[in-house]
Structure 1
Amino acid sequence: MNTPKIAAMLGLATGLLASSASFAAEYNFKLHHFLGPQTPSHLETVAPWAEAIEKASDGRVEIEIYPSMSLGGTPPELVGQARDGVVDIVWTVNGYTAGLFPRTEVFELPFVHRNDPAATNLAMHDLFEDHLREEYKGLEVMFLHVHQGNGLHTVDKDVRTPADVAGLKIRTPSRTGAWTIEALDAAPVAMPVPSLPQALSKKTVDAAFVPFEIIPSLKLEQQTQYQIEGTDQTRFGTLVFQMSMNKGKWDSLPEDIQQIFKDHSGPEWLAQLGQVWAENDIEGIEQATAAGNEHIVLDQAQTDAFEKALMPVITRWVDEANKAGIEGEALLQSAKDAIAAHNQ
């Protein structure tokens, strides 16, 4: 090959490398989470959030998402992975690390959260700086959110009253969920949600507290016959999720990049997220009923009976909070007031 051709090829290669470098992101992040890439959670929460930040940064930020625990470990280890800097960002369930976020638990309690995830999302945002931030040491919380709320899914039990639940083995992902089950004289079984279909099919559990949105992803209509909720979509508590970054990574970012993350994690996003999860819940229950399952909506008197039966869960949380040096009653009232304000 003659010298001019070699020079031309070298020049082309150099130009391509320079062009590639010019498009390389300045700030790269690994985002790890526990659900699959085809779940609504991934497609409508995790991925859109990351894409919006990348777009707003004009290519300076790249967020590589690793679903299904593909970087290793188990779901309860995600918070530790973020704190230790094993990964940069995690999306996870607070309750997978029981007792680590006791203040935030107040939003999971039955009949504190009722039926509006957007209202609870915004209430947590309102209370975060003054009441919640201190329990997220080692993390920079991008946002907290909840799902629509826990419906009761049973393999073959028609449930209309608290007494109907007694004796069942019920899956829960959280401490507050376990307290709810115990208050109904049932047996809590802790497990991450990906393990649920097999547990139901083998009757390791008789039922589960999960939202309806997860039905299509896990094909729960194939393992259950009944989906139960209270009147006006009232649920038996909910679950708090967090999107959090390693604090050292956050502190290393310039203010303009930090601001992009903040701009896409605030009230507008939280309200949108609440609506998305509420709509996905409707789609989930439609799939279950189309498969022949029975959707039981308790009337007001039946719902009130469950609320009365679950009051000890509230008392238990307040007592635990007080023992931990948290003003339980005051935080409970603040949470209720904030949710009510956004419900209006």
Structure 2
Amino acid sequence: MKNIYPPLASLSVAIALAFGASAAQAQQVTIKFSHFLASNSNFHKGVAEPWCAAIEKDSGGKMKCQLYPALQLGGTPPQLADQVKNGVADVVWTSPSYSTGRFPRTEALELPFSLPPGGVTGARAMWDYTQKHGLEDYKDFKLLAIFSGTNVVISTASKPVMSADDLKGLKLRSPSRFTSLFLSSLGGTPVNMPVAAVTEGISKGVIDGAMAPWEILPAVKIDEVTKYHIEGPANLAGFSQTPFTVLMNKRKYESLTPELKAVIDKNSGLALSELAGKVWDKGNDEARKKLAAQGNKVLVIKDAEYKAMVKASAGVETDWIKQATAKNLDGAKLAAEVHSIGNKYLGK
């Protein structure tokens, strides 16, 4: 009679290994990370992928990401906040400015001439302000980062904008509500359109130019249909800026073990905000150099004209303070704090 015990022993080992593998797989946490740009974008390559690699490494492989660029989970950019709140995604990158009125304290970060024009300095200022005044806006989320999309640049096709008067009558693509208010206050006409449609809009004369950060210009070929690119002095606050946030589903975070929570915390907060700021600064610097090298005119508004723009657009802040006060917020204090914190990081 053949001995049946060795096969049984082998079967026992196989079963044990299978259960061990299943247990290991069960212990691994997958973070579904969704955003609205393509997989070759600066955010995906410079922020999302490094963050995912860091949490996988620091967790010893117990936690990993599944990235969903270009809205692969469906929806639109304004819907990303609800997607992460409801658990469709575990982490999203979005902007509070896409949801008017939902993040009222954060709106102060969009006020014209309030924050440094750079990515890192803007990120530090936004994180600082949010920790002091804005956390109530994110009570339904785990806030992983908030950073600046950097100062917008005025790009035009036919004439440079070197003063407030030069903006009168110009139709410019606007990336946000506050940029639109800024343009309107100076006599310009803001036009809302997808950034992918801007180049064609300029080439066909539908609009005269656009307000957008440097890195956007070559990315969608705005630099090929515009000649002039105007910014304020580097040591002064930018024209306007858009805050961006990385948000995590609160229940997902709370379900993690203390060890994995520590990994998320280590790789988030100011560190992640600064990382994003560095990526934006690098993209802006490369774009600015490219445009100058190909013959586009990179211009800086003189101090006197800058001050005139600040004065002419002051009503945007005054109106926002009234709106914030109507929501039982201390609008005047929040606006003053943004300027104070912004000045703190200028030139750093």
Which residue of structure 2 lines up, in the alignment, with residue 135 of structure 1? 137
- The 8 Å contact of residues 99 and 175 in structure 1, kept in 2 or not, is answered as no
Match of 1:156 among 138, 155, 158: 158
Match of 2:114 among 96, 112, 115: 112
Residue 215 of structure 1 and its aligned partner are, at CA, apart by 2.3
- Computing the radius of gyration from Cα coordinates, the structure with the larger value is 2
SS in 2 for 1:304: helix
The answer as to 2:280 corresponding to 1:277 is: yes
Match of 1:319 among 322, 330, 334: 322
Which residue of structure 2 lines up, in the alignment, with residue 71 of structure 1? 73
Q: Any idea what the Cα deviations from partners look like across 1:135-169, whole Å, max 9, x if unmatched? A: 22432111100022111122333211112112222
Q: Which runs of 4+ in 1 moved over 4 A?
A: 7-21
Q: Where does 1:69-108 land on structure 2 (aligned, <5 Å)?
A: 69-108=71-110
Residue 8 of structure 1 and its aligned partner are, at CA, apart by 8.8
With normalisation by structure 2, the TM-score equals 0.87
Residue 195 of structure 1 and its aligned partner are, at CA, apart by 4.1
Q: Any idea what the Cα deviations from partners look like across 1:232-275, whole Å, max 9, x if unmatched? A: 27531111000001222222222222221111113334334323
- The 8 Å contact of residues 75 and 192 in structure 1, kept in 2 or not, is answered as no
Counterparts of 2:38 and 2:279, CA distance in 1: 18
Match of 2:299 among 296, 300, 307: 296
- The 8 Å contact of residues 54 and 61 in structure 1, kept in 2 or not, is answered as yes
Residue type of the alignment partner of 1:295: V
- The 8 Å contact of residues 109 and 314 in structure 1, kept in 2 or not, is answered as yes
Which residue of structure 2 lines up, in the alignment, with residue 52 of structure 1? 54
Match of 1:205 among 185, 204, 207: 207
Residue type of the alignment partner of 1:183: S
Residue 180 of structure 1 and its aligned partner are, at CA, apart by 0.9
Which residue of structure 1 lines up, in the alignment, with residue 239 of structure 2? 236
Counterparts of 1:205 and 1:295, CA distance in 2: 20
For structure 1, list consecutive stretches of 5 or more residues without a partner in the other structure: none
Residue 105 of structure 1 and its aligned partner are, at CA, apart by 1.7
Q: Relative to 1, partners in 2 of residues 1:18 and 1:219: Cα closer, same or farther, differing over 3 Å?
A: farther
- The 8 Å contact of residues 117 and 148 in structure 1, kept in 2 or not, is answered as yes
The answer as to 2:250 corresponding to 1:247 is: yes
Residue 116 of structure 1 and its aligned partner are, at CA, apart by 3.2
- The 8 Å contact of residues 24 and 60 in structure 1, kept in 2 or not, is answered as no
Match of 1:170 among 152, 166, 172: 172
- The 8 Å contact of residues 115 and 343 in structure 2, kept in 1 or not, is answered as no
Between the two proteins, what is the percent identity of the paired residues?
33
Residue type of the alignment partner of 1:37: S
Counterparts of 1:205 and 1:119, CA distance in 2: 32
For structure 2, list consecutive stretches of 5 or more residues without a partner in the other structure: none
Residue 229 of structure 1 and its aligned partner are, at CA, apart by 0.5
With normalisation by structure 1, the TM-score equals 0.88
Counterparts of 2:295 and 2:15, CA distance in 1: 61
SS in 2 for 1:231: coil
SS in 1 for 2:191: strand
Counterparts of 1:194 and 1:17, CA distance in 2: 50
Q: Any idea what the Cα deviations from partners look like across 1:101-160, whole Å, max 9, x if unmatched? A: 221121222211132332332233233344212122432111100022111122333211
- The 8 Å contact of residues 116 and 148 in structure 1, kept in 2 or not, is answered as yes
- The 8 Å contact of residues 116 and 342 in structure 2, kept in 1 or not, is answered as no
